[in-house]
Amino acid sequence: MYKINENFLKLPGSYLFSTIAKKVASYSKEHPDKEIIRLGIGDVTQPLAPAIIDALHKAVDEMAHAETFHGYAPDLGYEFLRSAIAKNDYQALGCDIQADEIFVSDGAKCDSGNIQEIFDGSCRIAVCDPVYPVYVDSNVMAGRTGEYDPKTETWSDVIYMPCTKENNFTPELPKEIPDMIYLCFPNNPTGSAITTEELQKWVDYANKVGAVIIYDAAYEAYITEDNVPHSIYQCEGARTCAIELRSFSKNAGFTGVRLGATVVPKDLKCGDVMLHSLWARRHGTKYNGAPYIVQKAGEAVYSEAGKAQIKEQIAYYQKNASTILNGLKEAGYEVSGGVNSPYIWLKTPDGMSSWQFFDFLLENANVVGTPGSGFGPSGEGYFRLTAFGTYENTLAAIKRIKEL
Ligand code: PLP
């Protein structure tokens, strides 16, 4: 008789967003007349920019002719896209990253969940608390996290780095030494950012203790402040300790199109072994490449027209972010994030728990957000709103919250 991977059974409860969806569906069914505004899940609402649509159309037409048809994409991504990423996202910032250190994928969720496969089962992970759930859950599935304690909502073998009001929602260096450190800045869910000097401390620490940093830069397009780095490779020494994850979802609206990239510098080595070789082997074995038409769309993100159109889209969401941030402040809420990020993190009023506030907001303002406790114990008593709605809905939601 076969056996299952019992690590899956250790995962507590259902996935945060399915629980929210169920609650909202049940409320909607009971109150069909209510117009619900969703500022919970981090999905975008603006359509793809015209330059991207053009590129998609052209690529689709190419697929209709034998001379221009494309079959399997190269495992690691088409050269045209890898070069565009290297040039625009790295070399333009002064980072020494080459096209052959970039692996094109179908998004940062898969990469952030899969990257742990190239590390030994005994490696200890360190994560921020609260945190994007994929980092922890994918390590649970791999059997790397020990036992779950439902009381503390923590895993025995995970090193948690609380991100609280006291530390401005940026973690402190851990007391125990981890092997793998997951960092995400600008952060989901807290919306906090890290300065280059602060990030440099992490790079120095990782190089000193022999840890690898998995740096999720999915929200770098939302950075507005000068001293906030767009890539970890803006820090000296990051080539020997950091892997960076990129996504086309939040900067260019590819949530449904699917495109991402992971950077593994060739200087990143465990003894003599380049992590680049392991990830290339893993990618080649388990992945057949993002579709040609999608990679052509990705290339268009870096065209002059694409860049200008995307800048406008990001500005649209940034305007939503400041509308939420300022509106909540005026309503007397304690808020952070929203300046270098599409996420606004607010303290729930009157000592309500995160889920109590979720119900309160759904029932009284018909606004959906995300309970902070769903991202980890330090998120309890907090709530996340996102700037990815339409401007009209964002304004309406804030008006309703102010009137509560
Ligand atoms: N990383 C973080 C921190 C995210 O918040 C998200 C999506 O919400 C992702 C990765 C997923 O990105 P993608 O759509 O590229 O899979």
Contacts of 383 by beta carbon, 8 Å cutoff, 6+ apart: 345, 346, 347, 348, 354, 357, 358, 361, 369, 370, 371, 372
Residues with CB under 6 A from ligand 1: 42, 107-109, 112, 132, 184, 188, 216, 218, 247, 249, 255, 260
Task: Give the separation between CA 211 and CA 180, rounded to whole angstroms.
Answer: 6
| pLDDT given for residue 41 in this prediction | 78
Q: Ligand 1, residue 248: give the atom nearest the CA.
A: 15
| pLDDT given for residue 219 in this prediction | 98
How far, in Å, is the centroid of ligand 1 from the Cα of 281?
A: 23
CA angle 128/133/134 to nearest 5° reads 110
| CA nearest ligand 1 atom 6, residue | 109
Residue among 104, 246, 250 to mutate when testing ligand 1 (max atoms within 8 A of CB): 250
pLDDT by residue, tens only, the chain of 404 residues: 999 999 999 998 767 888 899 999 999 999 999 999 999 878 999 999 999 999 999 999 999 999 999 999 998 999 999 999 999 999 999 999 999 999 999 999 999 999 999 999 999 999 999 999 999 999 999 999 999 999 999 999 999 999 999 999 999 999 999 999 999 999 999 999 999 999 999 999 999 999 999 999 999 999 999 999 999 999 999 999 999 999 999 999 999 999 999 999 999 999 999 999 999 999 999 999 999 999 999 999 999 999 999 999 999 999 999 999 999 999 999 999 999 999 999 999 999 999 999 999 999 999 999 999 999 999 999 999 999 999 999 999 999 999 99
From first CA to last CA, the distance across the chain in angstroms is 58
Task: Give the separation between CA 335 and CA 31, rounded to whole angstroms.
Answer: 30
Tell me which residue of 71, 105, 99 sits closest to 258, measured CA to CA: 105
